[in-house]
Copies of this chain bind each other. A is one copy, B any other.
Amino acid sequence: MSAPTLSPPLNAIPADIRNAQDYAALAPHFLPPSHLAYISGGSGYGHSVAANATAFGQWAITPRLLRDVGHGHTRITLAGEAYAHPLFLAPVGFHKLAHANGELDSARAADATDTCMIASTQSTFPLEEAVAQQRWFQLYLLPRRDDTLHLLRRAEAAGYRAIVLMLDAPIQVVNRRAQAAQFQMPAGCVNVNLRGYDTTPRFAGNGPGESRFFQGAMRGAPSWDDIRWIMRETKLPVWVKGVLHPDDAVALRDAGVSGIAVSNHGGRSLDGAPSGLDVLPAVRAAVGADFPLMYDGGILSGSDAFKALALGANAVAIGRLQLYALSVAGALGVAHMLKLLREELEICMAMAGCATVGEINGGALLRQTRRDAA
C-alpha cells in the first residue's frame, strides 16, 4: 500500500465526518508517514497498543428503556473542581509534529469545548503560552531537583490547577513502527519547556558489571521520596499517571495523592503491559468508590469513554485522537473531535439510562463473546 498524498491541514471541518474516530482514518492524509508511525505506534511490537483496542471490544453497553434522563448532563466534579464533561485532553508531547500551531491550537480547541487540557512537559510551545482555560500540568521529574522545582513553580505561576506526575516510563523502549519509518524528530520540534534545564540522566549504568537499566535509568526513576517531596512543595492536587496494579494504587492513595490515572501509557511504555481497561475494575475495587480515577489508552469513541467510566474511571483522557484531529484541521479539528466524542458519550448515557456520569457503572455493561467486524 503506497502512502497517500499529503494534504496541508484544512481550515474547515472536513465533510462526511460523523464520528470522532473518523479523524484517525483521515490522519494518514495529513501526517507524513514517519510522523504517523511515531504517533500511532507503541513501544516494541505494539502488543500493548493492541491490548487497548481489544479491551474495549470485550464489552457491550446495555440500553435501558423509559428512564427519565431529560435532566441529564455530563458535568463532573473531580478533586473539588467542576468540569463540563469527563473528557480530558491527555498529555501528549510534540504537537508540532501534527500541526504548525501545535499546543496553541489544542488549547484553543479545549476552550471551545469546555475541555480540560493536561499540558505535557514535552511541549513545542511554552507552558506559559499554550494555556487552556482549564489546565493541568503533566510533570516529568527532571534529573536535578532544582530544575524540577523551577518547572513546577512555572506551572503554578501559569495557573495550572493540578500536577500529574509521570511515573510509568522510566525506560525508553524503541517504537518499532517509528524506527521502520525512519522517524526523526524534526528540527522545529523542540521541547521548549526544558530549555535551560539539565536533562542529562544522573546515572548511565555503564560502570563495570552495571546494567544500563538497573544501575542507569532506574536509579534516576521517580521514587516515593520524590513524590512526597513534590506533594510538600506544592499546594496543587498531585495526580499520578501510569498505574496498572491495584497495590500501587492503594499505596499512592495512602501516600496522599489526589488521584490516579490508570494507563498503559497508550502502549508506549512496557510493550506487553496489559490494557489499563482490563485492570481498571480491580483498581477501583482496591481504592474504594470515592477515590478519583482517570483512564487513558485507546479511546476512540464515546462508547469507549462510556465503558471506561462504567468500569471505574471518573474521567478519561484522549491521546492519539487529539493529534490526529490536530493534523487534519488544527484547533477546529480538535474541537470538532471533542464535540463529536461528547455527543457520542451523551448518546450512550442517554440510551443506557444514565442521566449523570455518576450513574454510569458496571451494571451498564455486558461481557460478550469476541466478535468479528460486521
Contact = CB atoms under 8 A, between A and B. Distances in A.
Nearest to A40: B374
A264 B371 CA distance: 16
A117 interface: no
A351 B278 CA distance: 18
A206 interface: no
A214 B60 contact: no
A345 B203 CA distance: 19
A167 B64 CA distance: 9
Interface in A329-353: 343, 346-352
A1 to B, nearest CB: 16
Contacts of A41: 374
Contacts of A73: 211, 214
A219 B70 CA distance: 5
A187 interface: no
Contact of A63 (B66, B273, B366): B273
Please give the count of copies of this chain that the complex contains.
4
B54 A274 contact: no
Question: Chain A contact residues: over half helix, strand or loop, or mixed?
Answer: loop
Count class of interface residues, chain A: 35 or more
A239 to B, nearest CB: 13
A50 B217 contact: no
Interface stretch (A128-136, A173-181, A286-294): A173-181
A236 B369 CA distance: 39
A278 B368 contact: yes
Contacts of A26: none
A44 B19 contact: yes
23 contacts: A18-B179, A47-B60, A50-B371, A50-B372, A51-B368, A58-B369, A60-B275, A61-B274, A62-B273, A62-B279, A63-B264, A64-B245, A64-B248, A65-B167, A65-B240, A65-B242, A66-B224, A70-B219, A73-B211, A213-B346, A214-B350, A270-B347, A270-B351
Closest 10 CB pairs of A and B: A46-B374, A72-B214, A60-B274, A54-B371, A70-B219, A50-B374, A213-B346, A270-B351, A272-B303, A49-B374
Given A50-B373, A60-B272, A61-B270, 20 more contacts: A19-B174, A53-B371, A54-B371, A58-B369, A60-B274, A60-B278, A62-B273, A63-B269, A65-B243, A66-B167, A69-B214, A70-B203, A70-B214, A70-B215, A71-B214, A170-B350, A171-B347, A171-B350, A214-B346, A273-B351
